[in-house]
Amino acid sequence: MCRDYETAQKAFIATKNWLKERLELDISPEKSKIINIKKKYSNFLGFKLKVINKGNKKVIKSDINDKATKKVIRNILERIKDIKKSQTVATANRYNATILGLHNYYRYATHVNIDFSNIAFLVSKNLYNSTKSIRGSTGKKSKAYMMYYGKYNFRMTYIAGIALFPIAGIKTKNVMNFTQNTCNFTKEGRELIHDKLKGIDNNILKYIMENPIQGETTEYNDNRISLYVGQKGKCSITGGPLQISDMESHHKTPRKLGGSDEYANLTFVTYDIHKLIHAIAEETIPSYMNKLQKVINKKSLIKINKLRKLVGNCELYIS
C-alpha cells in the first residue's frame, strides 16, 4: 500500500529484482501488478478488494472474486450431485463440510453475506430439483448446525435425517490484528498460543465430517460430530485441545457389555488417554501413566477410573 504511483512503482521494481536476484524467482505478470484500488478491484487469494468512501473515512470493500465464485458454485453443485447419487449420512455430511469450509475461508469478506446469498440463489433451484424426491421434511439438527446456523430461519432440507447447512447462512467476521507477544519463547507468549488453541477448530470439525469411520454405524459417525462440538474441541479427561492425529471416541460402556453408539455413551479423548482406559498389562499401565504425568492429576484420574470401571478394569492410583 503506497501513497502514490511513483512510490508503488519503485516498490514493485525493488521487490521483483530482490526475488530474482536473491531467490531466483520470477513473478507472474498476470497476478503481479500495480492497481489503484480507489478505482479498480485488486484480486488476492479468492477475494477482490477496493477502497470506498464511508462517511468521512475510506474503508476496504471486499467480496469473493468472480473466478472464486464460479469455483464455489461448481464445488457446491458437485456435492449436490453426490447426494442425488447416494442419499446417505456420509454424503450429507460431506455437503455440510463443504459449506462450512467455504464459509470459514470467505467469512472475512465485508460483503460475504451478499455474495453467498447470490450463490444460494443460483444453486437453490438445482438443490431443490435434485432432492425433490429424496429429501425429508423432518430430521436432526446437529450441535454443529445449532452452533453455526441455529440463529437463521431458512427453509430446511433434510437428507438421510441430516439437516443441510444453509448456503446463505454467513456473516462477516472482523479481521483482528494479532499481538506481537504471541511466541513459543516466553510464558506469556505460550499462554496466548494455548488460549488460541482452546475451543472448536473448524478445520478439525470439517475433517470429522468428511472422514467418517469406515465400518461404523451412521449413529456413531453422526455423534462424533456432535461430540466434538459438545466438548468444545477438548479432551473430556484432560481438557486439552484435541488434534486430528490425537483424538479417539471412546464407548463408556463397551458394545460387548450392552453399550450403544448413542451420544451419551461416547466421549472424545486423546490417544494415550484412550490406551490408558483400556490398559491391563502390568508393564503398559506404568508406561502410559509416566507418559501422561504432566496432564493427569487427582481430578482427571477420578474420571479415568470411572471409565476404566465401566469397561471392567481396575482403578489406578497416583503414588
pLDDT in tens, 250-290: 999 999 999 999 999 999 999 999 999 999 988 889 899 99
- Residue range 187-205: average pLDDT? 78
pLDDT at residue 103 is higher than 90 = yes
Alpha-carbon dihedral of residues 165, 45, 174, 118, nearest 10 degrees?
-40
Using a pLDDT cut of 90, give the percent of the chain over it.
68
The whole-number pLDDT of residue 319 equals 67
The string of DSSP codes covering 100-117 is HHHHHHHTTSTTHHHHHH
| Location of C-alpha cell 496432564 | 295
Determine which of 145-159, 189-203, 205-219, 304-318 has the lowest per-residue pLDDT on average: 189-203
Q: What is the residue extent of each domain of the chain?
A: 5-64, 217-310
pLDDT at 164 over 70: yes
Task: List the Cα angle 77/80/82 in 5-degree steps.
Answer: 115
**The Cα angle at residue 135 between residues 100 and 225, in degrees rounded to 5:** 35
CA distance 201 to 232: 9
Residue 62 class from Cβ within 10 Å (0-12 exposed, 13-18 middle, 19+ buried)? buried
pTM of the model: 0.79
**Any bridge partners for residue 187, and if so which?**
none
End-to-end CA distance of the chain: 61
The half-sphere exposure of 8 on its side-chain side, counting CA atoms within 13 A, is 11
User: How would you label 125-158 residue by residue, b for 16+ Cβ within 10 Å and e otherwise?
Assistant: eebeebbeeebeeebeebbbbeebbeeeeeeebb
SS3 250: strand
User: Measured between alpha carbons, how far is residue 171 from residues 61, 133, 196 in Å?
Assistant: 14, 31, 21
Q: Answer whether CATH 2.40.360 is correct for domain 217-310.
A: no
Q: pLDDT at residue 207 above 90? A: yes
Tell me the Cα Rg of the chain: 25
C-alpha cell of residue 4: 502514490
Q: Please give the average per-residue pLDDT across 91-112, as a whole number.
A: 95
CB of 175 within 8 A of CB of 108? yes
